[in-house]
Amino acid sequence: AQKVTQAQTEISVVEKEDVTLDCVYETRDTTYYLFWYKQPPSGELVFLIRRNSFDEQNEISGRYSWNFQKSTSSFNFTITASQVVDSAVYFCALSESYNTDKLIFGTGTRLQVFP
């Protein structure tokens, strides 16, 4: 069965600190996709990144970076020099590629960045 675990329920940091959000997944598929979504206090879900299981290169986008390690089934997300606007709930998600790409979400990590 597919499963996504985000063990950190809530993280609090002070502005400018770096923070890493953990994501561990389980799947029997050899082809799968991993996602991160952000849900700010306004409630919408904002797409951040999508990676497929064949691409283990780390990715950096501005202050955001992602570390995908197949060996440990992890897809961690790091925010460098956090800002108050980064305060949100962050969801990691997994999708299979056969027939349907429904998303299996983790329980989310609430990040609070204090000034």
Partner 1 sequence: DSGVTQTPKHLITATGQRVTLRCSPRSGDLSVYWYQQSLDQGLQFLIQYYNGEERAKGNILERFSAQQFPDLHSELNLSSLELGDSALYFCASSHSGSSSGEQFFGPGTRLTVL
- Judged by the rule CB under 8 A, the positions of this chain that interact with partner 1 are 32-33, 35, 37, 43-47, 50, 52, 91, 95-108
Q: Is the dihedral of CA 42, 61, 78, 115 positive or negative?
A: negative
Residue 55 CB, shortest distance to partner 1, in Å, is: 12
**Which CB atom, from 58 or from 97, has the smaller least distance to partner 1?**
97
Residue 19 CB, shortest distance to partner 1, in Å, is: 21
Alpha carbon distance, N-terminus to C-terminus of the chain: 41
Q: Which residues pair with 66 in a beta bridge?
A: 59, 77
**Which CB atom, from 57 or from 115, has the smaller least distance to partner 1?**
57
Among 98, 41, 96, 106, residue whose Cα is nearest residue 76: 106
Residue 24 CB, shortest distance to partner 1, in Å, is: 16
Q: Which residue has the tokens 């809530």?
A: 10
**Which CB atom, from 11 or from 45, has the smaller least distance to partner 1?**
45
Structure tokens at 81: 């020099």
